[in-house]
Chains A and B, each alone.
Chain A
Amino acid sequence: MKLILITLALTVSSANAELRGRTAKEILDYVDDLFRGDSSKGRMTMKISTKHWTRTLSMNFWGEGKEKSLIRILSPKKEKGTATLRAGNDIWNYLPKVRRVIKLPSSMMSASWMGSHFTNDDLVKETRMADDFDTKVSFQGEREGVEIVELTCIPKEEAVVVWGKVVIAVHKDDLTPIVSHYYDEDLDLARTMTFSELRVFGGRKLPARVSIIPSDKPAEATVITYEEIEFDLKLPDDLFTLRNLQR
């Protein structure tokens, strides 16, 4: 969810034209501030391709601030109703088949979420990149015919993050993201996230398609396609509660 939220956060930032010309940190801060206290709701599909199977999940999602998010799977039928609630640093899964909620142990944080190339950690880690990373503009200009700004984020010494480096390229004109490279602690490329198909959701221009490719399995991928997203709406107070999760 972090990635999904970052995606949103980054793209949301593009709504504000005043950002152009600001420093890298200011961009990230702005992105975080913009998203904080905000709310969102939408529907997306997630297509997961691995060596052994390919499947498509369709789901609704809700988000509020940095701390709360809820995902509910709509299809396939076998998993319909399966839900993941993130509240603070905890992740809870609701399993409709056995009608039970289970809390994810911390040892499973780096395990895959629903078989995708997202980890549970992606859902939990706070989205405030500027807290954990020192950011600078590492490139500005034309690359492959597109005017871009490239931000390089290096984790701060005390930060507890899994990445050794994150490099984010955004369009120079509207600051919509193009591609993010995630490097592991040895600074080897671990995964690549690509943003495409710019569409307008809730008055904001966002990439509707986000794909993630793990570097160690280049033939595999998880592709998220946003069907619809709404912003700044009033969400029910009990939406992000365990009681609601089981409903």
Chain B
Amino acid sequence: MMLLKYAWRNMWRNRRRTMITLAAVALNTAVLILFYALSIGMIEKTLRNVTGLVGGEAQAHARDYLEDQSLYKSLEKPEKIIAAANRIGVSAVPRTFGFGLAAKETKSAGAVFWGVRPEEERAFSWVNHLLKGTFLKEKPGKEVVLGKKLARQLRAEVGSEIIIVVQAADGSMGNEIYVVQGILKAIGASIDRGAVIMHEQDFRELFVLEDRIHEIAFHSKGRIDPEDLITELSSDLGQAEVKSWKELMPVLADMLRLSDILLLIFGGIFFVAAGLGVMNTMLMATYERMHEFGIQKAIGASPLRIVTDVLAEAFTLSAAGTALGALLGYGVSYYLQFHGIDLSRFSEDLTIAGIAFDPVWYTAIVPKVIVMPMLIMCWVCVLASLYPAMVAALVKPVEAIHHH
């Protein structure tokens, strides 16, 4: 305790210099905490979007379906897979897909048609993610929900009639009129640009398709790790294959990894900057006290004792700095947890790797966001003071006593 007390007193010998160093350490820490919290905030939100909005944590398809999305490549025993997922308390939502043409008056566009069970889609939040209108009703009624950009391209509004033309499973031309029930908010590039969502039964009629299922999306609401889920389901899969969102969206998974690396690089720069600041301060402080160190050594202080003294001073300095920084960083992060940074003025639809991203950027505060920058900052500062400490410890008493 005495050690720290002396260190604290020594620290304030040069009040102004210490204040500046303290401020530098505090600011560095605060910026790191804020950056970390924002980064975690983005990752959490993106993951919530990716998994919770529509995609699920994992998806089952017939083998090779994703390479060639043929109407005929359906899952063999979907009900078995669904039952297996439900047994472990995981939502399993079946879907069918087909391709064709959507038209309104003279506007037309190629589209992907989704046959869904509206009541089961409630496991995903996209049913509430509508720009206009509502999601599909539980009963089939020749109604559709459109992706945002597709609706714009067709100049469709809620209530508009949309003509759909497809190549049905028997080779015939399926065509029918549907009424737009809702228009989705931005979800992801492919859905925005071309998705037409309809009731599973309407879909089957249009495509002359028996009860085929092309995809099952699993959603445990974060309770089960996707990899564990895949293991759990493996015995009931038959010919189907299940892929986690990381496999389905490798670009996104890579991006999240990249953001970790960016954080490391960014953090590294800040740590080095703060460390150099502390080293400079401690070096100056050490030279100022050279005379004193000489006397200490002359009356028998061991080099270790002097190293400990200097490091203790560096520690009190950085501890005080990081504590201040943590307060500041936490304060700003806390504020941004509720009042996010609005990025919408930069881009109307913010997408990252094809996934819609909420334009308001919030922080997420978890313990590591505060603790990690503090701990590492302290360590770095103490480590940076090793050099001044060595200089002090290794002085020759006679030379040092004459040092002024």
Contacts and interface: CB of A to CB of B under 8 A. Distances in A.
Contact of B171 (A48, A100, A103, A107): A48
Interface string B75-119: 000000000000000000000000001010010111000000000
A115 interface: yes
Nearest to B109: A105
A127 B106 CA distance: 26
B72 A52 contact: yes
Given A103-B103, A104-B101, A105-B109, A79 B171 contact: no
A93 B165 CA distance: 10
A112 B101 contact: no
Nearest to B167: A115
B211 interface: no
A57 B229 CA distance: 49
Contact of B172 (A78, A93, A107, A111): A78
Interface string B150-181: 00000000000001010101111101110000
For chain A, the bracket of interface size reads 20 to 34
Contacts of A93: 165
A37 interface: no
A50 interface: yes
Contacts of A105: 101, 108-110
B65 to A, nearest CB: 15
B172 A55 contact: yes
A81 to B, nearest CB: 11
B108 A97 contact: no
Contacts of B108: 102-105, 108
Q: Helix, strand, loop or mixed for chain B's interface?
A: strand
Contacts, number: 58
A202 interface: no
B172 A76 contact: yes
A13 B101 CA distance: 38
B103 A102 contact: yes
Nearest to A53: B171
B169 A102 contact: no
A111 B106 CA distance: 19
A140 B163 CA distance: 52
Given A102-B165, A104-B101, A114 B173 contact: yes
Contacts of B167: 112, 115
A3 interface: no
Given A52-B171, A55-B172, A82-B173, A100 B109 contact: no
A55 to B, nearest CB: 5
Contact of A102 (B72, B101, B170, B171): B101
Contacts of B101: 102, 104-105, 108
Given A52-B72, A114-B173, A103 B106 contact: yes
- Range for the number of chain B residues in contact with chain A: 10 to 19
Contact of A115 (B103, B163, B173, B177): B173
A177 to B, nearest CB: 28
Contacts of A55: 170-172
Contacts of B176: 97-98
Chain B CB within 10 A, most for which of A52, A54, A76: A52
Contacts of B169: 52-53
B214 to A, nearest CB: 15
A112 B171 CA distance: 11
Nearest to A112: B167
B198 to A, nearest CB: 15
A115 B167 CA distance: 6
A79 to B, nearest CB: 6
A95 B171 contact: no
Contacts of A107: 109-110
Contacts of B163: 95, 98, 100, 102
B170 A53 contact: yes
Contact of A79 (B103, B110, B172): B172
A154 B73 CA distance: 38
Interface in A76-126: 76, 78-79, 82, 93, 95, 97-98, 100, 102-105, 107-108, 111-112, 114-115
A108 B175 CA distance: 16
Nearest to A108: B110
Given A95-B175, A100-B177, A114-B173, 9 more contacts: A52-B72, A53-B170, A55-B171, A78-B172, A79-B172, A97-B176, A103-B108, A107-B109, A112-B167
The 3 closest A-B pairs by CB, nearest first: A102-B103, A53-B171, A95-B175
Interface of B: 72, 101, 103, 106, 108-110, 163, 165, 167, 169-173, 175-177
13 contacts: A53-B171, A54-B171, A78-B173, A79-B173, A95-B163, A95-B173, A95-B175, A102-B101, A102-B108, A104-B101, A105-B108, A105-B109, A105-B110
